[in-house]
Amino acid sequence: MMILRFFRLRRSAPVARDRLKVLLAHERAMTGRPDLVAVLREEILAVIRKHVPVDPGKVNVRADRDGSTSTLSVDIELSTMEPPRAAAA
């Protein structure tokens, strides 16, 4: 049954998270910029704000280093969005 698991597609969120981890580890190793987390935070929020409203106070960005791997965790609390009301005719 392991063969079936091999051909199963991975969901996009874990794939994106893995790619971001690789990117951050590479960037941190190459640049060593101390403001990299702040810059990434603002750029990520700008992209998310294009699609949903985000309260900056409800965003938590954390950078961790474990051996030779650096990770960036972004937790964003999204408010529940109400569906648009039908216009009164």
Average pLDDT over residues 15-34: 70
In our burial notation (b when 16+ CB lie closer than 10 A, e otherwise), range 22-48 reads eebbeebeeeeeeebbeebbeebeeee
- The pLDDT score that the predictor gives to residue 31 is 59
Q: Are 54 and 61 in contact (CB under 8 A)?
A: no
For the stretch 60-70, pLDDT in tens is 888 777 777 77
Q: Specify the number of domains making up the chain.
A: 1
Is 88 contained in some domain?
no
Structural domain boundaries, residue 42 = 13-76
- The pLDDT score that the predictor gives to residue 29 is 64
Is 87 contained in some domain?
no
Is 86 contained in some domain?
no
Q: How much is the pTM?
A: 0.46
Is 62 contained in some domain?
yes
Q: Are 64 and 70 in contact (CB under 8 A)?
A: yes
Highest mean pLDDT among 21-25, 61-65, 84-88: 61-65
